Amino acid sequence: MNALYALKKKYSALQLIIRQGSNEHLTQQVADGALDLALSISYGRPAITAATKLKAVPIYHNQMVIGVSRLNPLSELAELPPSALTTLPILYYSPESSTFLLESFLASTPFIHNYNQIRRVASAEQMHLLVALNQAFAFYPAGLVSPESDTQVAYLPIADGVQQGYDIVALFNETKSSLLLRQLIQMMTS
């Protein structure tokens, strides 16, 4: 956000079109030249395959956490034991039906054996409401949520040394990138 804002401030005539979609659609649009840049999450599996001509540049790293309702006694823990995740559905947000995110979450949580327990929701608001009302747990990207201002949901790491790191990556076609795009990527990575 800061890099886009700074670029727009520097080049006031710059026209930006922002789209939201599944990783599959966004990477295809970058590959086809319909988009110059896409942001994706690399969590549990890479955002792109090794065979692609796209380049993925990490621009942010943090940890995925589990949202737990403050109505749930588990919210008082410092870390959530993997065994506690069997009591409620586990949600993730994706605006489109996407196998990429589902496969990412499954790859990052080998302790979950009931894959039907993980469900997609089409709006972040719906996901957050279900978590706040103690009807589900949900994956949240630490650093992109504000736990200090949320009085209804606690954001807990998974215990037992389960690594839940994620990267936000900028995806672009290096051979078709403009000077302006390279400048934006430089701003995002510095």
Are 81 and 150 within one domain?
A: yes
Are 88 and 159 within one domain?
A: yes
**CATH number, position 152:** 3.40.190.290
pLDDT digits (tens, 9 = 90+) for 23-82: 888 888 998 989 999 998 888 777 888 778 899 999 999 998 999 999 999 999 999 998
**CATH number, position 7:** 3.40.190.10
Are 67 and 82 within one domain?
A: yes
| Residues 127, 119 contacting (CB under 8 angstroms) | no
Are 89 and 107 within one domain?
A: yes
Are 106 and 120 within one domain?
A: yes
- Structural domain that includes position 106: 61-166
DSSP structure class, residue 142: T
pLDDT digits (tens, 9 = 90+) for 101-133: 677 767 777 677 777 788 889 899 999 999 999
Are 91 and 160 within one domain?
A: yes
| Residues 134, 72 contacting (CB under 8 angstroms) | yes
Domain count, the chain: 2
Are 91 and 142 within one domain?
A: yes
Are 27 and 87 within one domain?
A: no
